[in-house]
Amino acid sequence: MSDFLLENEAARRLIKTLGLPVPVPTRLRRAKAPQDDRPLHDDDVVVGAVPGGAMAGVLAQTLTVAGASPMVTRADLLPAFAEPGEAFGRPAKLIDLAAVPDGLKLRSLVFDATNLGDPTELRALYDFFHPLITRLGGSGRAIVIGRPPGSFESAQVAASHAALEGFARSLAKEVGKRGSTAHVLYVERGAESRAEGVLRFLLSPRSAFVSGQPLTVTSEVRAPQSWRWTRGLAGKIALVTGAARGIGEATAELLAAEGAHVVCLDRPQDDALVAQVARRIGGSVLLADLGTPEVARTIVDHFRAQHGGVDIVVHNAGITRDKTLAKMKPEAWDQAIDVNLVSVARVTAALLEGTLRDHGRIICLSSVAGIAGNMGQTNYAASKAGILGYVAKLGHHTASRGITVNAIAPGFIETRLTAAIPVMIREAGRRLSNLGQGGLPRDVGEAITFLAGPAAHGINAQVLRVCGGALIGR
């Protein structure tokens, strides 16, 4: 089912001309090809900072290597940009916030607040963003970088860094009508260099439907010795469950485009569909019913026999059995819990016993329903909330092996399931987000592919919402 307000240009012009009180969403700038070395090619990015911030060197390296054209608002930031700027022909320019050039259109704004002190220093956020936010172009990015609030002894300093989340979430709502997003990135001390891959993702078109999110970069997980930005999954073996259609199909395609051999798992009754996906991407098929107790052994035996192990596990398959609790049959409860949560834990436990290789990636699909709840979905929401608790704990157990465990929580995504929703509910689902529209399966697949890559080793035991900044949940 297509989005009328996005795809009908005549209707969009008429609404704007008549000034009707109808939100006309902005078409999002999305990536159209596999990852490349310079995802920020020629993007004008302004960098500001609280004095003494810790991220100047990382930002200089990230932006120049990724092809951006950096500008800084403080002269004391220029030395950090000098060497990478010379190496990549991207020297940083000094911009005066009191005299921002007319006509300047920016792709991204990045503010380093890692050295933020007591709450009086929050004024630095206003001083940086106020003169620049109207210069942020369509599908732009705004990122604030701080420290995890819990890492401070001082309650006042902790309050300042916690305030960054409220600021970023609110800013995301203000710029969403232009297709732009805002985030807060918390970086632990000693993990600064691990932020590069996260910044490349958040600043690029691959994060088009990720908005208003807090993420924390840590040094908990043992880092890989090296990686590359393009075809970073070359030689890797990936499992994607529920790969026949929708998010699973999009994810399989994106992982394959980055070099992975993807084993596409789905139910035996979807043999024809999943076989088509596997053939198209050069992958292979594994038919199995995730609702059966023996499925874990089936999966383990397959990967040991056919591939000698697995590197990436994407638990995408899921079912809904919607009814209000008073009308729900016990089998509907059991089926949702078994497929969406029990099988995830059972299969993962079996794979961790020697089949999942070190530096592997486990990505589990949750849902905003698991965060905010949903009418008639007590079983589904319980299973998806369980996923959040599962990854939050398991990730700490696997970190010593370099294995990360994370969750993706999609919001309203345009699939065959959402196409069957009554029209008024469907419209509300689309519009009740910062970006005023539904996401695409590819948007979720891009986030999964980011977490599956070696450069995401700083993200562990976390949930990444791909919901356009949905106005439900947190």
pLDDT digits 0-9 by tens, 24-39: 789 999 999 999 999 9
Q: Is the pLDDT of residue 364 over 80?
A: yes
The tokens describing 460, both together, are 């562990």
Over residues 174-187, the mean pLDDT reads 97
Contact 77, 50 (CB under 8 A): no
- Amino acid identity of residue 183, one-letter, is H
pLDDT of residue 273: 97
Q: Which of 64-68, 273-277, 373-377, 464-468 has the lowest mean pLDDT?
A: 373-377
pLDDT of residue 138: 94
pLDDT of residue 360: 97
Q: What is the mean pLDDT of the chain?
A: 93
Rounded-to-integer distance, Cα 428 and Cα 374, Å: 14
Q: Is the pLDDT of residue 474 over 60?
A: no
pLDDT digits 0-9 by tens, 6-19: 777 776 676 677 66
pLDDT digits 0-9 by tens, 87-130: 999 999 999 999 998 889 999 999 999 999 999 999 999 999 99
Q: How confident is the model at residue 204 (pLDDT cuts 50, 70, 90)?
A: very high
pLDDT of residue 15: 65
pLDDT digits 0-9 by tens, 289-346: 999 999 999 999 999 999 999 999 999 999 989 999 999 999 999 999 999 999 999 9
Q: What are the structural domains of the chain?
A: 34-217 (3.40.50.720), 237-466 (3.40.50.720)
- Angle among Cα 67, 68, 71 to the nearest 5 degrees reads 150
pLDDT digits 0-9 by tens, 405-459: 999 999 989 887 776 666 667 777 788 889 999 999 999 999 999 999 999 999 9
Q: Indicate the length of the chain as a whole number.
A: 474
Q: What percent of the chain has pLDDT over 90?
A: 85
DSSP code for 413:
B
Reduce the DSSP state of residue 274 to 3 states and report it.
Answer: helix
pLDDT of residue 21: 61
Over residues 229-248, the mean pLDDT reads 96
**How many angstroms separate the Cα of 367 from the Cα of each of 168, 243, 383?**
22, 17, 9
Tell me the catalytic residues. Answer: 380
- Euclidean distance between the first and the last CA atom of the chain, given in angstroms as a whole number: 28
Rounded-to-integer distance, Cα 464 and Cα 446, Å: 12
Whether the full predicted model's pTM is greater than 0.85, yes or no, is: yes
CA dihedral 250, 256, 257, 258 (to 10 degrees): 120
Between 378-398 and 343-351, two packed helices, what is the crossing angle to 10 degrees?
20
pLDDT of residue 104: 92
pLDDT of residue 429: 75
pLDDT of residue 350: 98
Q: Is the pLDDT of residue 275 over 90?
A: yes
DSSP code for 433:
B
**How many angstroms separate the Cα of 126 from the Cα of each of 129, 167, 169, 173?**
5, 10, 15, 16
